[in-house]
Amino acid sequence: MNVDARYGIDDAPVFVIDQSRCIGCEACVQACMECGTHRGQSLIHLERIDRAATTQTAPMVCMHCEDPTCAQVCPADAIKQTEGGIVQSALKPRCIGCSNCVLACPFGVPKYMAEIDQMMKCDMCTDRTSEGLKPMCASVCPSEALWYGTIDEFRENRTGSLLRDFMFGRQEVRTKVYTVVDELAAGPIDVMRGQAASWLDDPFALESGGT
Amino acid sequence: MARPPLTDAELIDRYGPHLNQAPPGGWNAGIEFDRVVDTHCCFCGQQCGIKLKVHDNEVVGFEPWYDFPFNEGKLCPKGVKRYLQGSHPDRVVYPMERDETAPGGFRRVSWDHALDRVVSEIRRIQDAYGPDSFAMLSGVSLTNEKSYLIGKFARLALHTANLDYNGRYCMVSAGAGNKKALGIDRASNPWSDIPLADVVWTAGTNIAETFPITTSYIWKARDRGARLIVQDPRVVPHARTADLFLPVRPGTDSALFGAVLHELIRHDWLDHDFIDAHTNDFDQAAAAVADMAPAWAADITGVPRARIEQAAEWWGTSATGMLLHARGIEQQSKGVDNVLGAINLGLATGKFGKPGCGVTTITGQGNGQGGREHGHKCDQLPGNRDITNPEHRAHVASVWGCDVDEIPGKGIPALEIIEAIHAGEIKGLLSICFNPLVSSPDSNFTREALDRLEFYSVIDFFVSESGHHADVILPGSLHEEDEGTSTSGEGRIIKINAAVEPPGEARRDWEILVDLADRLGSGHYFPYTDTHQIFEELRLASAGGTADYRGATWERIEAEHGLFWPIPEEGHPGTPRLYEGGRFYHPDGRAKFHAVPYRLPGEVVDADYPVWLTTGRVVSQYLSGTQTRRIAALVAQYPEPLCEMHPQLAERVGVADGDLVTVTSRRGTITLPAHVVATIRPDTVFIPYHWPGDKAANQLTQRVVDPTSKMPEFKVSAVRVEPAGGRVTTTDVRDFDLQGGAT
């Protein structure tokens, strides 16, 4: 079974999300169901940002926070981390289905499954990653928006900076999963500056009468 | 008699599509498997490597095949869920014969009865109306071995000239353009060249939804700093990050390419050495675009003049570049013109035969490349030979061991076969792997045609909508039930391995054809006991042709993760990149420019039909949906067709997102929800075509074809859009309330 194992413990592979690469195909949603322990349940989120305006979509796996908010707010102590830092679904015998975690997660990841009265969430395919295999979503993702490998492999093949520190108000969150942003060396992003003019402002040149 | 025995609703109730929800045993059974089979996806021309998990002669799941170099484990949603077509409740597992009195409209019969009936009807019809009155339609989801076999079967067992295939609706414009300009019909490059391009230009190809894996190659080019140009009437998903978007009006692509060539010449962004050394007829192409200035093209195409000029500058001044095109520019009555216009841009700037340089089609169907090479087409013999060429006929006759006169002449292409059936000239039809009722243009006409057949037999694994019209249904095999090769869109010959045996009484397609040939008295030409023997014969038959497989062996194909043809002798490394050293495949070794004057599409908008319609695909469905409309998770992703339209058009029509609209053309009408999005030209609507009956986009499309390739104009029609009253509560397709399915 391990013939395809690619990563040993020493390789320290990481999970990377680059939302800008997502093409919305839902291969990740379909593949998540196929992970041995997910049993037909897809635990990944794929958001359409504003389909009326754009085809932009965004996949969201669990970010696997070092000090997970979901576990902090769980009154039943049902959410555990593995030694490798993977935040798991609520333990069935403990979960009381209160949805505190669903409300508290800064990334909106946990899902309350009413039919089984239990919170389930992305576990980074623990059954696969523990054997050195890539998670299902990052295996199939046709655009490599979801990616799994070593930091060296990333730097060799990809552009952008890896980010895993977030501020939510005054709450600092460090995640195991990385997000890709523009080159951090270029300095902070000035959101008030506005974007350079782009064809995206007027794809069909309607403002100028089509010419 | 080829009318359906029961109503559509009754036939669907019996034969589906029903929805397969879960693997054999259900999700909670835990997935046990005995073995894993390395093979490829059964769907598009990317032919991604995949490992199928098998338990007790059932495919129970998949595992990514990380070591297959093309996709390295990547799959689209169709590839992920493909395994659910096996062990499906709709599967045809015994031969059936039309019987209005039987439950379900068909009665179970023995193989002997079914095959004898087919043979007696072939004989009766051919005796009464001549050999060409019985036609065959095939498809390129089939392996090379089966495609080759069908070409030989139609000519030497059916004795008909009238064999054609569903690639007629997919790849033929690219094939014809490639042959005219370059002397060979194959992708110009392996996909590993895409990341080496400084400019990637996609023309009429919705890569994210129809060739999802190709996205990763384009993103790799972007990581290297490549510019991306996207030419499309819609801001398709991969366009979102493009550097330049060319929002071309449907049916005007050749004007855009002409204007770009005009600009390349005006600024002298030309590779004169390449043009002089390796091409002919540049002056003729140049003369044809002398008046095609960007301002002129802007009026015709709707692409702003500055963007046309920018595209020309980037293409003309970049050291490397690849132009990738697909059905958007090819499924037009000017499909070949459009392809030739694109190739002109590559030849003018010397972008052929070098790393990161090429102009190439992205082949659509699974074996769309290999299936169009070995005698599957009405005018073709193996090795991409010409059925009208005496030398080509003599070579193939020597391999087949037949008299050259036994090989019929050129037949008529797929749509003309449908039209000849409608006109009563063709009376009998055998089809395999083709669902013309959904995939042919003008589906009301297609239905009338099928109703008029005196006899119709299909070889298929599910009863498709066309199968409803059949007199005899012969249960064939799925992709994972037979062994052979296919040739991916890159021109890479790959190995398809059998994972399971056909269920019940279903048989491998080639066994059915060999049995039929025997009963037709031609068994001596078909002495095969396995598909490897067919491949060995294909190698000989293709030898010396442009699509030369002589040196390819199953062993090397498997060991080397595929071989790129031409591969003219054993030990030859294969030919991943064509045209290296500026060597093209015309007899003089040169490529040929073509003059491409602009002309109008087959139908243009007017006061009665003021809106352009273009059709295409969505990511979760494949072609006519015979397979993918039976898989619950794929259906859930996009259950029914929507009519994409811009908010400006919606306002003019007087509808909001989710309101039902009626779209009418001169051929037919369809009512469906409006999907109001700002990502489509305001003068154009888009409807995906995967559905049958009153949800069929092809009710609206026209039977106008390209004069050279005979490709129908699926991408351009004139329609009227009106409010239909009523609405759906959401156009977020994932929230649709699905009808429950089987299991």
Q: Residues A105-141: pLDDT tens digits?
A: 999 999 898 888 999 999 999 999 999 999 999 999 9
Which region among A98-102, B497-501, B647-651, B730-734 has the lowest average model confidence (pLDDT)? B730-734
Q: Measured over all CA atoms, what is the biggest interatomic distance in chain B, rounded to whole angstroms?
A: 74
Q: Which residues of B touch A48 (CB under 8 A)?
A: 732
pLDDT digits (tens, 9 = 90+) for B533-555: 999 999 999 999 999 999 999 99
Q: Do B66 and A6 touch (CB under 8 A)?
A: yes
Per-residue CA distances from B480 to B37, B42, B147, B502, B521 (Å): 9, 8, 16, 9, 30
Task: Note if the bond before B17 is cis, omega within 30 degrees.
Answer: yes
Amino acid, res. B144: N
Average pLDDT over residues B436-443: 98
The shortest CB-CB distance from A139 to any of B28, B64, B239 is to: B64
Residue B26 pLDDT grade (very low, low, confident, very high; cuts 50, 70, 90)? confident
Q: Which residues of A touch B647 (CB under 8 A)?
A: 52
Angle between helices B294-301 and B253-266 (to 10 degrees): 170
Report the C-alpha gap between B31 and B23 in whole angstroms: 9
First to last CA, chain A: 59
CA distance A139 to chain B (A): 6
- A37 → chain B, closest CA residue: B30
B734 has a pLDDT exceeding 70: no
Q: What is the DSSP string of B322-356?
A: EEEE-HHHHSSTTHHHHHHHHHHHHHHTT-SSSTT
Q: Do B619 and A26 touch (CB under 8 A)?
A: yes
Average pLDDT over residues A22-39: 93
Q: Do B219 and A144 touch (CB under 8 A)?
A: yes
Report the C-alpha gap between A65 and A85 in whole angstroms: 8
Q: Is B238 on the interface with A (CB under 8 A)?
A: yes
Residue B729 pLDDT grade (very low, low, confident, very high; cuts 50, 70, 90)? confident
- Of B375, A128, A117, B391, the residue nearest B383 (C-alpha): B375
Residue B127 pLDDT grade (very low, low, confident, very high; cuts 50, 70, 90)? very high
- Of A185, A183, A186, A188, the residue nearest A160 (C-alpha): A183
- Strand arrangement, sheet containing B563-564: B484-487, B492-496, B563-564
Third-level CATH fold of A11-131+140-186: Alpha-Beta Plaits (3.30.70)
CA distance A209 to chain B (A): 9
Residue A101 tokens read as 């975690």
CA distance A177 to chain B (A): 20
Q: What is the dihedral of CA B8, B9, B11, B14, to 10 degrees?
A: 170
Average pLDDT over residues A180-198: 71
Which region among A189-193, B131-135, B477-481 has the lowest average model confidence (pLDDT)? A189-193
pLDDT over 90, % of chain B: 95
Would you call B361 helix, strand, or coil by DSSP?
strand
Helices (H), A130-189: 136-140, 151-157
The pLDDT of residue A194 is 62
Neighbours of B672 (CB within 10 A): 20
Pairing mode of beta strands B134-138, B163-165: parallel
Angle between helices B509-519 and B111-129 (to 10 degrees): 60
Report the C-alpha gap between A152 and B219 in whole angstroms: 19
Write the burial class of residue A187 (CB in 10 Å: 0-12 exposed, 13-18 middle, 19+ buried): exposed
The pLDDT of residue B17 is 97
Q: How far is CA A21 from the centre of its chain?
A: 13
CA distance B692 to chain A (A): 23
The pLDDT of residue A183 is 74
Q: Do A143 and B240 touch (CB under 8 A)?
A: no
pLDDT digits (tens, 9 = 90+) for B315-343: 999 999 999 999 999 999 999 999 999 99
Report the C-alpha gap between B418 and B712 in whole angstroms: 12
Write the burial class of residue B123 (CB in 10 Å: 0-12 exposed, 13-18 middle, 19+ buried): middle
Question: Which pTM was predicted?
Answer: 0.96
B31 has a pLDDT exceeding 80: no
Q: Which helix (H) or strand (E) holds B450?
A: helix B443-452
Find residues 27-66 of chain B whose CB sits inside 8 Å of chain A: 27-28, 30-31, 61-64, 66
Per-residue CA distances from B239 to B33, B76, B209, B521 (Å): 41, 18, 12, 56
Q: Are B415 and B440 in contact (CB under 8 A)?
A: yes
- A145 → chain B, closest CA residue: B216
Q: Do A142 and B213 touch (CB under 8 A)?
A: yes
Q: Give domain limits for chain A.
A: 11-131+140-186
Q: Do B678 and A52 touch (CB under 8 A)?
A: yes
The pLDDT of residue A209 is 66
Residue B229 tokens read as 């140009």
Taking one residue from A and the other from B, the number of pairs with CB-CB distance under 8 angstroms is 149
pLDDT over 70, % of chain B: 98
Q: Do A211 and B305 touch (CB under 8 A)?
A: yes
Q: How far is CA B731 from the centre of its chain?
A: 28
For chain B, what is the mean pLDDT? Answer: 96
Residue B455 pairs in a beta bridge with B428
B742 has a pLDDT exceeding 50: no
pLDDT digits (tens, 9 = 90+) for B647-680: 999 999 999 999 999 999 999 999 999 999 999 9
Q: Is B219 on the interface with A (CB under 8 A)?
A: yes
Give the single-character DSSP code of A94: T
Q: Which residues of A touch B194 (CB under 8 A)?
A: none
Residues across chain B: 743
Q: Do A140 and B80 touch (CB under 8 A)?
A: yes
The shortest CB-CB distance from A144 to any of B77, B216, B299 is to: B216
B352 has a pLDDT exceeding 70: yes
List the domains of chain B with CATH numbers. 19-85 (3.30.200.210), 96-170+367-481+505-523 (3.40.50.740), 172-361 (3.40.228.10), 611-735 (2.40.40.20)
Report the C-alpha gap between B577 and B192 in whole angstroms: 10
B24 has a pLDDT exceeding 90: no
B90 has a pLDDT exceeding 90: yes
Average pLDDT over residues B39-51: 98
